[in-house]
Amino acid sequence: MRAAVRLAAWVYAVAIYGFIFLPVVVLVLFSLQATSFPIPPFTGPSLRWYQAVLSDARLTSALVNSLLVAVASSLASVTLGFLSAWGFARFVLPGSALLRGLITLPLTVSYLIIGMGLLVLFNWAGVPKSLLAAGIGHVVINLPLCFAIIYSQMGDHQINIERAARDLGAAEWKVLLMITVPVMAPAIFAGFFLSMTFSWDEFVISFLLTRFETTLPVEIWNLLRSGLNPKTNAVGSLVFAVSIVLVVFFELTLLRRKPA
């Protein structure tokens, strides 16, 4: 009886892994397809579709745009998030809980609605659609995340180091730059890389707020109109590879930090 339960459990686990990995395996496998359709039978292997992606000016410039928006918006998110987390963790402010709630509020609203709101506002204010507009939207969704990560990691043990620095005559900005930032570096990097992955993968806000120059997910979306195509598989596999690199950085920064 016990053996039967164990066997059933393993079969179930393998089935779930199969379900989870099926689309990813199919994606990568058929990106290596030699012929023009990403459907069975597999005719590969060939790297021609990767070559086609890398020589496609629209896709490569979208890739550069995506990286640019991801880096810039993540830097802005992590800077604003860090400063406010420090402010809330170290000082007593009136209405602190309410204000912290306000900063984290965008986490509970779907990206579509955040994008819609910005579209209506920018439309009224006469702000043209652009990468900058999309980047502003990315900061709206990533700032609460950076704030939450960094704020949760602001422990009491850093207070004493900061106090010691102040006693030794350091100005506030010196304490911030030379003590708090290095001590909080793991949380800051974690916030940064997590923001990067979210911005890199974000579609709806970029779709609504950009027009001529746009990000990679939007270009992939446009590519989908041409139907099933191994080029889409190749670009998808490349996006997957970049995300994995970012996630590895995230793992190394937050989860592998030395126990306090």
Partner 1 sequence: MASAGNNPRALPWALVTPALAWTCAFFVLPFIAMGLSSLTAHEGGGFTLANYSQFFTDPSYWRAMVNSVEVTAIVTVISILLAYPFAWILAEMVPERWQRLALMLAVLPFWTSYVVRSYSWLLVLAQNGVINRALTGIGLIGEPLQLANTRLATVTGFVHFFVMLLTLTIFANLKQLSPSYRKAAADLGAGPVRTFLHVVLPLTLPGIMVGAFLTFVLCIGDYITPQILGGNNELVMPQLVMMQIGRRGDFPLASALSIILMAVVTIAYLACARWLKIERA
163-182: contacts with partner 1 (CB under 8 A): 171-173
Q: Which of the stretches 48-56, 116-124, 153-161, 184-192 binds partner 1 when contact is defined by CB under 8 A?
A: 116-124
At closest approach, how far in Å is the CB of 176 from partner 1?
Answer: 9
Among 47, 64, 102, 159, binds partner 1 (CB under 8 A): 102
Among 179, 232, 253, 254, binds partner 1 (CB under 8 A): 232
DSSP conformation class of 44:
-
At closest approach, how far in Å is the CB of 30 from partner 1?
Answer: 6
- Give the C-alpha separation, 244 to 252, whole Å: 12
Between 96-104 and 131-153, two packed helices, what is the crossing angle to 10 degrees? 130
Task: Check binding of 64 to partner 1 (CB under 8 A).
Answer: no
**CB contact at 8 A, 63 and 236:** no
At closest approach, how far in Å is the CB of 198 from partner 1?
Answer: 10
Residue with smaller CB distance to partner 1, 76 or 186: 76
Question: What number of CA atoms fall less than 13 Å from residue 103's CA on the CB side?
Answer: 24
Q: In this structure, how many other beta carbons lie within 10 angstroms of the beta carbon of residue 183?
A: 17
Tokens encoding 106 = 């965008």
At closest approach, how far in Å is the CB of 82 from partner 1?
Answer: 9
